[in-house]
Chain A
Amino acid sequence: MIPTSRETDLEEPVDWPTALLVPGARQDDALRRLHLLMVRAARHQVWRMRELLEGHGPELYDELANSAADEAVTVLLAKLDTFEGRSRFTTWAYKFAILQAATEVRRQSWAQREVTLEDWETWCDPRPEPEQEAEASDLASAVERAMAVALTPYQRKIAVALLVDQVPIDVLAERLGTTRGALYKALHEARGRLRAHLVAHGYLAADGRRGGSR
């Protein structure tokens, strides 16, 4: 079972940043409490995503959660000066463990899977015959063809990997040697280009809603 707050004794210091920064017994206690918080949040995340870890059990869940918690503590302490007190410290801290644990689970679940980036441009006809045009009146077909003409090869590959093949964004980032943020930016730009193309060709209304002039 995932430990509850009561079981992990998570009574928090009034001033977490000071408690974590000033050397002494109080700092030791704050670090111990912080680690318990991170283990709890990491376990919570791993258990949420355990369906992705088919064939494994609690032993791996704990291993991933503990590893994520350790890494999250390191990352948090390095960013402690960015805590602005806009939320409770525990809420702020939890997100580091959740991010780390989710990333670890996705990485583990794709560890044995190959990611191949295919370019749809090689099999999408950007200028369909009239009959094909008629058949392509539904949005899915229109999007396929828009991908061939409106996106760069890189944008196509990223969009297909993330949204068609459902490769997790952090897994794809790791395989490509880039960042989650950079991939999301590329996807954002691809979506904008597709929408503009579909509006221009009547597949989306000017406000971007489905149901343009076609």
Chain B
Amino acid sequence: MTRPGRLTDEAAQLLTLSTEPWLSCEDCFRLMDTFVEAVLVDPDTTAFPQMRVHLRGCGACAEEAASLLDLLVEDRGSH
């Protein structure tokens, strides 16, 4: 585990990231399918701003949303 005095700039950025407006992991999961479909239609969509904030602050949710998007893109390509 990390020892004192070794806080990297990257860790400092993550620790001080603004995660307002608040969105829980549970609500992120609830919205994930509609959010990803909106992104699929328009990657620059401004809908779901709270989702974007949450995904910047939660690596696990971000991975899962990126994976879902990737899977939908793959599906689209195979049909």
Could you tell me which A residues sit within 8 Å of B by CB distance? Answer: 4-6, 41, 44-45, 48-49, 86-88, 90-92, 94-95, 98-99, 102, 106, 116, 118, 120, 123-124, 138-144, 147, 159-160, 163-165, 168-170, 180-181, 184-185, 187-188, 190-192, 194-195, 198, 204, 208
Q: With A4-B74, A184-B57 given, name 18 new contacts (CB 8 A).
A: A5-B78, A44-B74, A45-B64, A88-B33, A91-B33, A102-B64, A102-B67, A118-B1, A139-B16, A140-B9, A144-B5, A144-B7, A164-B11, A169-B59, A184-B25, A184-B58, A191-B19, A194-B15
Question: Which of B12, B29, B58 has a CB less than 8 Å from the CB of A143?
Answer: B12
Question: Which of A147, A181, A204 has a CB less than 8 Å from the CB of B26?
Answer: A181
Question: Which residues of B are found within 8 Å of A208, using beta-carbon distances?
Answer: 18
Question: Which of A120, A139, A165 has a CB less than 8 Å from the CB of B9?
Answer: A139
Q: CB distance A116 to B33 under 8 Å? A: no
Q: CB distance B60 to A170 under 8 Å? A: yes
* Residue total for B at the interface (Cβ-Cβ under 8 A): 42
Closest chain B residue, CB of each to CB of A209: B18
In whole Å, how far is A142's beta carbon from the nearest beta carbon of chain B? 8
Q: CB distance B60 to A98 under 8 Å? A: no
Q: CB distance A44 to B67 under 8 Å? A: yes
Complex CA gap A143/B7 in Å reads 8
Q: CB distance A165 to B58 under 8 Å? A: no
Question: Which residues of B are found within 8 Å of A95, using beta-carbon distances?
Answer: 29, 32-33, 64, 68
Complex CA gap A37/B54 in Å reads 27
Question: Which residues of B are found within 8 Å of A49, using beta-carbon distances?
Answer: 63
